[in-house]
Amino acid sequence: MNKRNKSSLKFFELLGIVMAFVFVIFMTMSDSSFAMGIKRIFPPWCKQGDPALHQGYVFNAITVDNNPDYHGNITTVTLHPKSSLVLYIGGNIFMVVPRLVKAFLKKYPNVKHVFYITVPPGILIRMWKHGDTITLGNLTMHVVPDVYMAGAKKLNYTNQIGMTVGKKVTYVTNDLEIMTDKGNPYHITGLKSFLNPKLTLSMPNPEWEGIARQIKASLIKAGGKKLEQAVYNYGVKSGRVYLTHIHHRQTPIRIMQHKSDAGVNWFSEVKFQEMIGNPITGVKIPADQNTIALYGAAMTKGAPNPAAAKEWLNFLKTKTSLKIFERYGFKAP
């Protein structure tokens, strides 16, 4: 082999080593380490693109379209508050609400218009603190709620801060389940499988997703503080664990896009994905390791239509409502 060919061979060998090195670095980067790159890739790209005089709480769930969590005609409910019902709903019951609203409107024909939001309960509180206003990309929306729905314990807090008033209503329970790819190709047997350093996870962010509290409790039940820290501390720092903005959208999408191998969601969320034919499988969490959530609702302070709010709260306690919830795996309290 002549010198020229040897030089060319060495060049391509060196190039191959460099490319392999770059590939390894890219594959081991955590989500947080290239977050700034993600923000540049996904819109909105223009700074100060929203001309609203008063922006609300800025909530951009990067990498997922969360527009499906805003339901109805915001203009109609704003113009006709006395014949409307506006609901702030913790997002994990999103699959139930269309049937609930349909049944409610049939029972209470005096309510003509309904608008509801299904995002994490902590985001809804932040929205309320920003004058019932939220900014999505370059769109700012202002809508005053009649009812706030979340975990029953969260309602104790909203009563304390003056967001909700009166007696809360509790109506269903739910428990946790592991969500993974169809057929469970990673052979997940339970929460202890999360100790596997090769298993990538999508997990709710404790900062605003109430389910994270129940998940942490279940991780400790299953594997002690070691397991909880492996997921929510070391796993997050290493990039093996992705913390969601809005788990009921991001976790199933990330699993189906093969960006995450598994995550913990509510049983009803796993059941719904299976019902609609998405390639999702659930892995049961034993009762002694599971954590049950109690769902509640209360009227908001300054509700534009307190009569409709009371009707909705009463409706949540009916057999009709419970039957709809049970369809998706919820249970009576």
- Is the pLDDT score of 299 beyond 50? yes
Instruction: Collect all residues with Cβ–Cβ distance below 8 Å to 15 and sequence separation of at least 6.
Output: none
pLDDT at 62: 67
pLDDT at 54: 78
pLDDT at 37: 44
- Show the tokens assigned to 332: 């009576």
pLDDT tens per residue, range 196-253: 999 999 999 999 898 999 999 999 999 999 999 999 999 999 999 999 999 999 999 9
CB 315 within 8 A of CB 107: yes
Confidence of residue 78 (pLDDT cuts 50, 70, 90): very high
- Show the tokens assigned to 203: 């997990």
All structural domains of the chain: 57-170+295-327 (3.40.190.10), 176-284 (3.40.190.10)
Confidence of residue 314 (pLDDT cuts 50, 70, 90): very high
What is the arithmetic mean of pLDDT over 75-85?
Answer: 97
CB 191 within 8 A of CB 286: no
3-state secondary structure of 207: coil
Q: Residue 316 CA to chain centroid, in angstroms?
A: 22
pLDDT at 262: 99
Looking at residue 42, what DSSP letter applies? S
CA dist., res. 245 & res. 36, Å (int)? 16
pLDDT tens per residue, range 20-65: 433 333 333 444 443 444 455 666 666 666 677 677 878 776 666 6
Number of CB atoms found within 10 A of residue 64's CB: 18
Confidence of residue 317 (pLDDT cuts 50, 70, 90): very high
Could you tell me the CA-to-CA distances from 189 to 30, 192, 221, 315, 329 in Å, in that order? 25, 8, 15, 39, 21
pLDDT at 44: 67
pLDDT at 51: 72
- Is the pLDDT score of 265 beyond 60? yes
| The model's pTM | 0.84
pLDDT at 139: 87
pLDDT at 40: 57
H/E run at residue 15: helix 3-28
- Is the pLDDT score of 6 beyond 90? no
